[in-house]
Structure 1
Amino acid sequence: MESIFSVNDKVVLVTGGSRGIGEMIATGFVAHGAKVYITSRKADVCEKVATALNARGPGQCIALPADLQSLDEIKRLVAELSKREDHLDVLINNAGATWNESFETYPDEAFEKIINLDLRRVFSLIQACFPLLTAKSSNSNPSRVINIGSVNGEGIVSNEVYAYTAAKSGLHHLTRHMAGKLGHKGVTFNNVAPGAFQSKMMAETLKKHGDHIRSTNPMGRIGSAEDIAGTCIYLASRAGEHTNGATIAVDGGSSWYGNRL
């Protein structure tokens, strides 16, 4: 009997899949037998990660580089994916960026860039992928959209990352909206909201404040690759089939309890 957590042979697209949390997620799905497409701006990095994951198996990893800031690039990406696959089981929107600068000097172009990539183009990619997501899905066997948000989208943070928190908060609510309006089409929509993980985005923060972050986390550590991949695998598997419109924090409880210790 196949496990209710099986993602074997599922077709998966992970944006920002060549590093950080995206690579962690892609690695987990390939390790459990999925066919995973990863995309990011840098073709050489995508190819390198795909080669490494294919060597591990037992699933597959295919690089499809694209600049997700561009609507034309999104259309090109989905057209290329459509040549290779007649459906998509799981879309994981992980690509994102942040900008930390004082309120007084926070640049308009940075705000626009972050909102565009972290929120607007997530919607664009879901739109473009929807024919693939619904090609073989049903209410009893739905495809899945998993949006990687952030615990910073759920509360106030000390860093001056104004556009990032606005984008992630908007993404969480957009996901709930789509879950309610589009779930009947055979697609579920959920958010995963990571806390601190070892990634390029978090590298400087962990370098400066890592000891404090760990000491104030109820679990006494930051997130691991297994934590984030496992949550996405749950949502993508039979076990997560009836979870729709949820935001799951993967942060050891720090967003609610860390500052109260």
Structure 2
Amino acid sequence: MDIKNLFNVKDKVVLVTGGSRGIGEMIATVRDDLYVSAGAKVYISSRSAEACEKVATALSAKGPGQCIPVAADLQKLEEVHRLVAEISKHETHLDVLINNAGANWAEKFDTFPDHAFEKVINLNLKRVFSLTQACMPLLTAKSTLDNPSSVINIGSIDGFRAAPQMTFAYTSAKAGLHHLTRHMAGKLGERGVVFNSIAPGAFQSKMMRETLEKFGDSIRAKIPIGRIGTPEDVAGTCIYLSSRAGQYTNGATIALDGGSLVYSKL
């Protein structure tokens, strides 16, 4: 067994959506053993060109990998295809696709607006399918059954449970995303692509910041290991799923929550 190369992602070509902030930035960001510092070539995409440029410049400066920004509004199908076309100008293949871009909306049931439900479902679920579909020629261009490319969908532990917040569309979308991942894994694995999802719990992301400021102590008290997730936690799991170590993992949803889903205290 070649332990040295078991988690090697050097020279892999990676696309991370929503990569300029939150979980996406944690995945792309330069920390020990993470994508850019491990020598990968990482494309990051989000709506904000300025945010993408800022993150990509900082990551590429530290290296040894490279980070390239491509701004795109993935709510729009034409932007999905433009993003893939832009990457295709420079790359003949894609080793890893990380579908992280997402949106949330919390509002009381009686006033929850239709446009908000549609926006959340569209970005968190429908566009994951759209982008994965558009990326398949790149994902299969170099992959084999013995050396598959990897699609990693960022779900949520709220896809397993009824969340305490009134985020009806978000929990529905994430539950759907977990199942979409399993469905694609079962139907498309034969093309040399493995599909898995990660379901993060509490992380210090922009989406969670206000919640953690108000209820951080209470949230930590219900996590068996007693802390909030870090960039190393989520990026390390992605590295595993992107490397030789994870090539036989297909159709899994990994709860990355410190054990909060199994917390039990009488």
1:121 maps to 2:123: no
- Counterpart of 2:59? 53
C-alpha distance after superposition, 1:36-85 (max 9, x if no partner): 00000000110000000011111100001100000000100000100000
- Equivalent residue letter for 1:26: A
Look up the match of 2:234: 228
2:152 partner amino acid? I
Q: Which amino acid aligns with 1:15?
A: T
Q: Deviation string for 1:87-114 (max 9, x for gaps)? A: 0000000000100111111110000000
SS at match of 1:13: strand
Post-superposition offset of 1:256: 1.8
Q: Secondary structure at the match of 2:14?
A: strand
* Letter aligned with residue 12 of structure 1: V
Give the total of aligned pairs: 260
What is the one-letter code of the residue matched to 2:56?
Answer: A
Paired AA for residue 249 in structure 2: T
**Unpaired runs of at least 5, structure 2:** none
Shift of 1:255: 1.5
Q: Take 2:94 and 2:177, find their aligned partners in 1: how far apart are those partners?
A: 21
* CA distance in structure 1 between the partners assigned to 2:214 and 2:200 by the alignment: 19
**One-letter amino acid matched to 1:81:** I
Q: Is 2:181 the partner of 1:179?
A: no
Matching residue's letter, 2:139? L
Q: Which residue number in structure 2 is paired with residue 139 of structure 1?
A: 145
Distance 1:170 1:68 in 2: 18
Residue number in structure 2 paired with 1:103: 109
Question: Which range is displaced more, 25-34 or 163-172?
Answer: 25-34
TM-score relative to the length of structure 1 = 0.98
Q: Could you tell me how far apart the structure 1 residues matched to 2:222 and 2:160 are?
A: 18
* Cross-structure match for 1:6: 8
Q: Indicate the residue corresponding to 1:206 in structure 2.
A: 212
Question: Structure 2 CA distance, aligned partners of 1:71 and 1:256?
Answer: 38
SS in 1 for 2:258: coil
What amino acid is aligned across from residue 148 of structure 1 in structure 2?
I
SS of 1:96's partner is coil
Partner Cα distance (1:209, 1:95) in 2: 25
- In the TM superposition, residue 158 of structure 1 has moved relative to its aligned partner by 1.1
State yes or no: 1:24 paired with 2:23.
no
Deviations 1:212-251 (A, max 9, x none): 1112210100100000000000000000000000000111
1:39 counterpart (33, 39, 45): 45
- Indicate the residue corresponding to 1:162 in structure 2: 168
Query: Could you say which residue in structure 1 is the equivalent of 2:261?
Result: 255
Shift of 1:260: 2.8
Distance 2:39 2:153 in 1: 21
C-alpha deviation, 1:162, in angstroms: 0.2
Q: Which residue of 2 aligns with 1:197?
A: 203
d(CA) in 1 for partners of 2:201, 2:9: 25
Q: Matched residues in 1 for 2:188 and 2:230: separation?
A: 32
- Percent identity over the alignment is 70
* Cα displacement (A) at 1:191: 0.3
1:183 partner amino acid: G
Report SS of the residue matched to 1:217. Answer: coil
Structure 1 unmatched runs, 5+:
none
Q: Confirm whether residue 64 of structure 1 aligns to residue 70 of structure 2.
A: yes
Q: Deviations over 1:152-190 (max 9, x none)?
A: 001111110000000000000000000000000000000
